[in-house]
Structure 1
Amino acid sequence: MDLAILTELSELNPKNDQIFKRALDSPHHGRPKQVKLSKKSLDLDCTICGDHAIGFNYDVLSCASCKAFFRRNANQSLEKLRCLTGHGKCSVAHDSHRKCPRCRLDRCLNAGMRKDFIRTEEEKQRRKQRLEENRSISLKRSSISESTNSSLTSPPAHVVPKSESHTESFDDIDRLLMDMNKDDNNIFHESDDLNEIEDMLFGTLPIDDWLTIENVRSIFVSNFQNNQPQSNDNNNNNDDVTDHDSALVVWSHWASKIGLQLINFFGQIDEFEKLNDEDRFLLVKFNMFSLFPIFKCYIYKTADEYYLSEKNKREEGHCRPLQACSSRERIHENFQNIMLSLFPMTEQDPVLFSLIMLIFIFSQGLAMNENQPPLKDELVVHRAQNHYIKLLWNYLINKKGETYTYKYFNELLLIIFRIQIVSNESREYFRKQFIASNAMDKMAPLMQTFLNIS
């Protein structure tokens, strides 16, 4: 993706889509290549003893032996574990004939191994009981599914038109997901080997997953950490907001700057760059608008900071030209509610931000636009999205545990529904406002692509 070509979009051009396609399809001239981690380039030795590491155990790259040692001894009193030499500097290398348990435990703790990742016997018993209960639930569901299988093949009495489904209220979505939570709140993956499940789900992230996650995180941070739009949303052009048209123009340039940053980020992701040229263009054109609330959440850091910024803008009157419309006020209120939901879910974690954004950009039909052309290679896009969904799942399992991850994905699904509705409404609102205004010649041309203004 050549950002030099994208600069042409800073000037009005009736063929913005064509310029945009050229930018997405061009090679990466003039842009530093992101250094990609690999198994060969990364030191995969155990942090504790130097033996071959099997993955991240209890938050530290370690071998199977040190993982088992820490699980057995992490909660031991340090006073009871005495150093063999009394100096506290014993070698704990993997080829040592006898390893000092005190020095080995000290090495584990100093390396960052976390005691809170180890389950107590009570937690293990509760988990075992839940697994048994879930087996019973699964058997009941299986019998119910078989008994109702014939009814599922009968034609529905009423099919809701696609246009009506787009206007489904937030309350209906909430009720739907609350029902899901009632049924699935304590559902866990089943396995006959409980110990294997515990090891897999709590404390270990496969090295391949970690390498990919670290690559994505570093790309995200390098693009956004020191190069963000100003938190006032208007890119320091508030003095130019004097009426409705000028407010639209300032907003379009702020949104265009975010769009360019996001395009640069996606352009450094292998799965995105390998897509069909036309598919890359369609995904960015129709999905970019839905990414704005996620990016704003990263800019503001906390809900308090967001509220303070909104309060200052109201007091200074910068948003007044756009607040006269009741439709805009409703969209803004729904947008705020989405932001409040995103703050606790993202935790200002670059990994969560980057993975969620990638899941969004690879989504087919996210814009709910019936005029969106079909993708050339839907299967490749589907596989790319599934890859990052799996990474997000594994990352959360390793970081928070399984119960939290199930609830997180339910909440994420709800937020996706909300973002779809609000993004669709706001896209139409701004599109109509620009078409009806006298500001088309000053509008950021990239936004003409995102708003589908020809």
Structure 2
Amino acid sequence: MTGETKMIIITSNEDIIRQFSLNKPKHTHIVDLDNNKQVTSMNNNDNNIMNLAILTELSELNSKNDQIYKRALDSPHHGRSKQVKPSKKSFDMDCAICGDRAIGFNYDVLSCASCKAFFRRNAYQPLEKLKCLNRQNQCLVTRDVRRKCQRCRLARCFAVGMRRDFILSEEEKQQRKQRLQENRNISLKRSSTSDSSSLSPEVSPNSESHTESLDDIDRILMDIDYNDENIFCHNSFDLNEIESTLSAEDWISIENVRSIFLSNFNNHNTNCVCVDISDRTTALLSWSQFISKIALSFIDFFRHIDEFENLHDDDRFTLIKYNLLCVFAIPKAYLYQSVNDCCSFDNNVLAEQRRRFFILCGDSNGIRDNFVDVVHLLVDLTGQDPIILSLIMLVFIFSQGLSMNIEESLLKDPLAVYRAQNHYTQLLWNYFVNQLGEIEACKRFTRLMTIMIRVQLSSKAFREFFRTQYMISNIVDKMAPLMQTVLNIS
């Protein structure tokens, strides 16, 4: 195809898509952006199918050398679908419902003024009581004809993700403004008296065992009063300022991260029943293969993040090698179910299977229980919001020294890693403030810091426990190669 013109066309025009599909021109690919894993190749050439071959290689290689995984992280992803960041100056975006010019994110969806007002008026109307204009429930919703079929327009609003729980009544708006004003007054009063207050002496922490440290963290979490109005920030915002904490660019970054997170973990198989627990050696080897596959999903997620992809090659490898264990509980928190889950407290088959595995491996220090506790803490903190969980995962992966491993290599460009961590920390804070208000955001961040410490301690104990199990069983050469790196054996 040397000398031929190559072009990328992005369209939502169904007529154009239909023509491409019917004519089937050669050397043409259709990528469904609503399904990142679906790629249609018109000429059925296997070389044209988008895949993650370089990541698959990780689970198939049989070597202890860290350079294998470093090479995989260094290699460019020629086939992966890259998220495109819009220019800061170009925010003429289309309404997700009708295609008109959007005015911003309304009720969690990029939309125009007309669709915003329409959804506010009709969000609580039951769809089944509305009649479709053509009685087929498939009317086209565009700028020119959006007013013709109320039923299909409302269905379209829900389909693209508009949330009626985001609609505030006038009374709720007034209450919110009043609370913000009260918080500002409290902040001003306390800041005026802070100069005359004396500082309490600093208490140096004692060195405790892992179990005692985790108990201390539990007490801290229990002591946090979720209704304590004494928690405040010195820079309170009014309602308009809170709504502006997230710019259009911020919302686009958040949506990119959310979509990448869901494409990697929404249908993720974290079912531990696939681990063979017929005997100790078999269980350890089977578990290493199971965890290795999950690790590949994490690597794929991070390689779709520009800030990670643009890091120095050695720094990408170091962050994956030492911080990967610390983020394992995050997708599990998103997928967690209160019943019939391997991390639930009831005696279901999955939970019993997980308990038997850890008992078989000689767990007497509550390694499994610590992991389950972290999952539940994250569920409670985030409400299983994929945006919060994905942002936390990025904050964690960019945290140098999170693993508390003295063997961790120094970063080549620590400033770039710090900037990435700071960016996603700020984004997480702004999202909390936007969704919950500043006081609740302070409470959530306080809880997140204690959870982060718990993650550090439990991950360190987890790594040391399994390193010991594989080494004393003399099966290091037989375990999944990627796990040798994650457990810092190789």
TM over 0.5: yes
Alignment of 1:347-358 (within 5 A): 347-358=383-394
Q: 2-side partners of 1:252 and 1:92: how far apart?
A: 51
1:196 is matched with 240
2:54 is matched with 4
CA contact (8 A) 1:54 1:207 kept: no
Deviation string, structure 1 residues 155-174 (Cα, Å, up to 9, x no partner)? x5x6446x549765334334
Shift of 1:340: 2.1
1:366 aligned residue (382, 402, 410)? 402
1:33 is matched with 81
Shift of 1:215: 2.0
Shift of 1:285: 0.8
Percent of matched pairs sharing the same residue: 48
1:173 is matched with 217
Q: 1-side partners of 2:99 and 2:290: how far apart?
A: 50
Alignment of 1:59-78 (within 5 A): 59-63=108-112
Is 1:431 the counterpart of 2:480? The answer is no
1:242 is matched with 279
CA contact (8 A) 2:97 2:153 kept: yes
Letter in 1 for 2:276: N
Shift of 1:272: 0.3
Q: 1-side partners of 2:69 and 2:98: how far apart?
A: 52
2:271 aligned residue (203, 218, 231)? 231
1:81 is matched with none
Q: 2-side partners of 1:93 and 1:61: how far apart?
A: 15
1:222 is matched with 263
Q: 2-side partners of 1:55 and 1:134: how far apart?
A: 28
2:315 is matched with 279
Is 1:293 the counterpart of 2:329? The answer is yes
Q: 2-side partners of 1:413 and 1:358: how far apart?
A: 15
Q: How does the TM-score come out when normalised to structure 2?
A: 0.70
CA contact (8 A) 1:130 1:186 kept: no
Shift of 1:280: 0.9
Is 1:313 the counterpart of 2:327? The answer is no
Q: 1-side partners of 2:383 and 2:321: how far apart?
A: 28
CA contact (8 A) 2:180 2:239 kept: no
CA contact (8 A) 2:395 2:421 kept: yes
CA contact (8 A) 2:358 2:368 kept: no
Letter in 2 for 1:33: S
1:20 is matched with 69
Which region of structure 1 is more displaced relative to structure 2, 103-112 or 338-347? 103-112
Q: 2-side partners of 1:190 and 1:93: how far apart?
A: 39
Counterpart secondary structure, 1:169: helix
CA contact (8 A) 1:297 1:343 kept: yes
Distance 1:259 1:412, change over 3 A: same
Distance 1:115 1:207, change over 3 A: same
Alignment of 1:50-449 (within 5 A): 52-63=101-112, 111=157, 116-147=165-196, 159-160=204-205, 164=208, 169-176=213-220, 178=223, 182=228, 184-185=230-231, 189-191=235-237, 194-197=238-241, 199-200=243-244, 206-226=247-267, 228-232=268-272, 236-238=274-276, 241-243=278-280, 245-302=281-338, 304-306=340-342, 307=344, 308-313=348-353, 318-322=357-361, 324-327=362-365, 330-400=366-436, 402=438, 404-449=440-485
Deviation string, structure 1 residues 204-257 (Cα, Å, up to 9, x no partner)? x5321222222222323333345x345025xx3416x312x3322222222222
Q: 1-side partners of 2:416 and 2:359: how far apart?
A: 45
Q: Provide structure 2 residue ranges, at least 5 long, that are not aligned to the other structure.
A: 1-50, 126-140
CA contact (8 A) 2:187 2:232 kept: no
Deviation string, structure 1 residues 31-73 (Cα, Å, up to 9, x no partner)? 33335363699972456887642311233434568768987x7
Distance 1:168 1:45, change over 3 A: same
Which has a greater percent of helix? 1
Distance 1:60 1:108, change over 3 A: farther
Cα RMSD over matched residues? 4.2
Q: How does the TM-score come out when normalised to structure 1?
A: 0.75
